[in-house]
Structure 1
Amino acid sequence: MRTHERVLAQIETGLAAGRWSIGERLPAERALAEELGVSRPSVREAIRILEAMGIVRTAVGSGPSAGATLIDRPAAGLGAAVRLHVASGTLPVSDVVRTRVLLEAGAVRDAAARASGDAALARAREHVVAMADPGLDAGVFLEHDQDFHIELARLGGNQLVEAILSGMRAAVASYVAAGAAAVEEWPRTAARLCSEHSAILDAVARHDGAEAERLMREHIEGFYRETGLDEHHGVVPKPSAVAVRGSATAS
């Protein structure tokens, strides 16, 4: 085990034992190095890794906000890790779709149990209304579509699920764009997808978790089948290589 990995392991042990709490600062580099019996560069490298993982926030200087402060942003680290794997172009589309089904179906079921009125669903409904515009620019449509799905995941209340889905955003956008380009009558498909979005949201608003889960599964899997992506066992295309024909994309 390399030195900075030992530092990470010992900091993890301290966090698990409750030695530090969210909002508190870790000891200074010098103090940590002396306590752990390692060099300051090793401590510095470990802190940088923790910052990339969304565990700490660092600030330079000598004031009260200087040093490494404990935070908790799971989307930062998980999202970055998933995005890097997407960028490598090695994720099969089928894996992305199956993961979406597992996570999003459960998320909307939880959202239906938690939904506490129109205010909680307002942001998701705004995206549904925007996507219903047949003249909407393709890029804008895709952004609304992605935001709608992430908003429902957020309503489910599971930060880990939300973080993973946020990290998958580029992968989803890429395969959806490729699928939309293969659809012969996109306006009809887009209208159907918008209708499915509305039905999912309505089920959540009625607190009908079983129906919301069923509709979400059919929504994601239906588009995958319709576009013929299930017949091509390729990897997720890189965003720069995807050109959408004619109009907007959705999932």
Structure 2
Amino acid sequence: MRTHQLVLQWIEGQLSSGQLAVGGRLPAERSLAEQLQVSRTSVREAIRVLEAMGVLRAGVGSGPDAGTVVIADPTAALGSALRLHVATSHLPVRDVVETRVLLESWAASRARPESPALAEAARLLEQMDGCAGTEEFLGLDVRFHLALADAAGNAVVSAMMGSLREAIQDYAGRLTGNLPDWDATATRLRAEHRGILAAITSHDGGRAAQLVADHIEGYYAEAGLGPGA
């Protein structure tokens, strides 16, 4: 085992046992190195790994933000990994789309009409009505879908959708060049968004799930990512 992995293992153990929790601070670099009998370089390497994974935030200097603090941002590492693997074509876009359908239709079927996330979704729809640019629209579109996922109240689904966020916006934007009429597509997407939200607020989870699946698959089919493409 490489020495930085010993540090990772120790931190994982501290988190699992409850001796470290969100908001807690790690011992100083020198102290931790001496405690685990590893080099300070190994400690720094482990901390960098956990920063990239969204588990730690390292602050320098003095004051309330100094030191290495435990945070919780599970989308950080997942998002980075997914973007890179989509970019290398290791994860085909079609497979990512199918995963979206699976996650989002499940979330829509279980979304709670009283969830504050649905108020955020409605606000985003109003912003979509007033935006003209494709990039701005797609950014709002992704946030709308994340809000619907949040309304289901499942932290793992929300984290997975959050990790897909930038990959979704990136390839959705690249596919707009294949659309015959962006304005017509945007108008249709707005109407479909409102239909999905209306089904959820009417406690019709089954219909909401089907509408979400049709909405996602319809966009990519129109952009040339349908069966046989």
Tell me the TM-score normalized by structure 2. 0.88
The counterpart of 1:131, out of the listed 128, 131, 155, is 128
The counterpart of 1:164, out of the listed 151, 160, 164, is 160
1:141 aligns with 2:134: no
CA distance in 1, matches of 2:12, 2:127: 44
Note if contact 2:79-2:166 (Cα within 8 Å) is conserved in structure 1. Answer: no
CA distance in 1, matches of 2:223, 2:62: 57
Q: Partner residue of 2:212?
A: 216
Q: CA deviation at 1:62?
A: 4.6
Q: Partner residue of 1:245?
A: none
Q: Partner residue of 2:146?
A: 150
The counterpart of 1:192, out of the listed 171, 175, 188, is 188
Q: CA deviation at 1:54?
A: 1.1
Q: What is the aligned residue count?
A: 229
CA distance in 1, matches of 2:133, 2:65: 43
Counterparts of 1:51-90 in structure 2, within 5 Å, are 51-63=51-63, 65-90=65-90
Q: Partner residue of 1:239?
A: none
Q: CA deviation at 1:120?
A: 4.3
**Alignment CA distance shift 1:120-1:165 (3 Å):** closer
**Alignment CA distance shift 1:28-1:174 (3 Å):** closer
CA distance in 1, matches of 2:147, 2:45: 35
Q: CA deviation at 1:100?
A: 0.6
Which stretches in structure 1 are left out of the alignment for 5+ residues? 234-251
1:115 aligns with 2:113: yes
CA distance in 2, matches of 1:180, 1:57: 37
Which stretches in structure 2 are left out of the alignment for 5+ residues? none
Structure 1 vs Structure 2: percent identity of aligned residues? 49
CA-atom RMSD, angstroms?
2.3
Q: CA deviation at 1:89?
A: 4.3
Higher relative contact order (CA 8 A, sep 6+): 1
Q: Partner residue of 1:203?
A: 199
Q: CA deviation at 1:186?
A: 3.6
CA distance in 2, matches of 1:186, 1:129: 19
Tell me the TM-score normalized by structure 1. 0.81
